[in-house]
Structure 1
């Protein structure tokens, strides 16, 4: 996270492996975290003005920790897009795990809007054979697989998955790109 924050602050370009196309995601979650970081900063300055001098050092450390954590999360998710190449689709969720799907296993991909409670790689409670792989609860892509694929969850037995819910900043463009990858025509 600190490396991503440093690279993001220095405006270093992301270096992606050869032949991999980025699919950005989670800009909505980053905007919320940015808003909380801004509010936290303003509130912290007001609190700092009323604290006795002995408490200001501890409060300053807490503010720096809070801002580094918030901005680091934003940098980490911005610098970890989903990756697509001619062999795999890699759905990434920053610190909350990732999922790699072989391109030949991909079926249909479509845009749909909804939510699945939680974050990271997780099962969808009301749908057997479905998992969600998102930073937040919002989802806007549905990926149906040609054949069920076993997916290992953090806890419990692997799930035989037929459908994967994900998110992308531009879901229509992402769906077209992923669909074209099945025929070997994935280009930006």
Structure 2
């Protein structure tokens, strides 16, 4: 990536942090009218809150320990900025949930990932709890000639969404290669699967495309 591309990415990420924090403070999650929201932040929230509390304790402690006023001011600014930045990351997970509406499924991971899957591309959904290797939130796996992408939270996913046809998704990690299955995290995977199956049935009734009954929503 070029220097200009890196700068653009950094600015977009910074903007996303502050936009998320603003939405969270105002209690205005990004959920369109008529859509059902399905959060996924419960597993990551305790970890982020731990770092936030430790940072909040560290700020006055450092200020008290250092004898140099200019350095104290500089570290105070850095500390407060870092604290707000972590709060912004936490806020992003809360204000950008997965959503399901008449158009299909919208899968998100904070403000950085936004994938839309229309009903006609959803073949089957199931609850399946998986562990994901590594610390990345987006992981691509090749399995038996099929490609699955996991949008993990704390190295785990709970819902599999099988696609009817291979799709190229707007995820840099896939390298532009088509994907056959999405795996995502959800606080209530059974509720998400039930809602998805209801939407698939409604879409099938309108278009005569039968959904695949696969697994259960427990």
- 1:60-108 Cα offsets, whole Å, 9 max, x none, are 1111111111101111110001111112211011133221111121122
- 1:15-74 Cα offsets, whole Å, 9 max, x none, are 632321111112211221111110122233322221114221011111111111110111
Q: Which aligned segments of 4 or more residues in structure 1 are displaced greater than 4 angstroms?
A: none
Aligned counterparts of 2:19 and 2:169: Cα–Cα separation in 1: 29
TM-score, length of structure 1 as denominator length: 0.85
Which ranges of structure 2 fall in alignment gaps of 5 or more residues?
1-16, 204-218
Alpha-carbon shift at residue 161 of structure 1 (Å): 1.9
Q: Which residue of 2 aligns with 1:75?
A: 91
Once the two structures are superposed, the pairs formed by residues 1-188 of structure 1 within 5 Å of their partners are 1-10=17-26, 12-14=27-29, 16-54=31-69, 55-116=71-132, 117-124=134-141, 128-154=146-172, 157-184=175-202
Which ranges of structure 1 fall in alignment gaps of 5 or more residues?
none
Alpha-carbon shift at residue 7 of structure 1 (Å): 3.1
Q: Let me know the Cα RMSD of the aligned residues.
A: 2.2
Aligned counterparts of 2:34 and 2:82: Cα–Cα separation in 1: 37
SS in 2 for 1:28: coil
Structure 2 CA distance for partners of 1:15 and 1:162, relative to 1, 3 Å: closer
Which structure features the higher share of helix residues?
Answer: 2
Bigger Rg over Cα: 2
TM-score, length of structure 2 as denominator length: 0.75
Count of residue pairs the alignment pairs up: 184
Structure 2 CA distance for partners of 1:49 and 1:125, relative to 1, 3 Å: farther
Q: Is the 8 A contact 2:105 2:116 kept in 1?
A: yes
Alpha-carbon shift at residue 148 of structure 1 (Å): 2.4
Structure 2 CA distance for partners of 1:18 and 1:6, relative to 1, 3 Å: closer
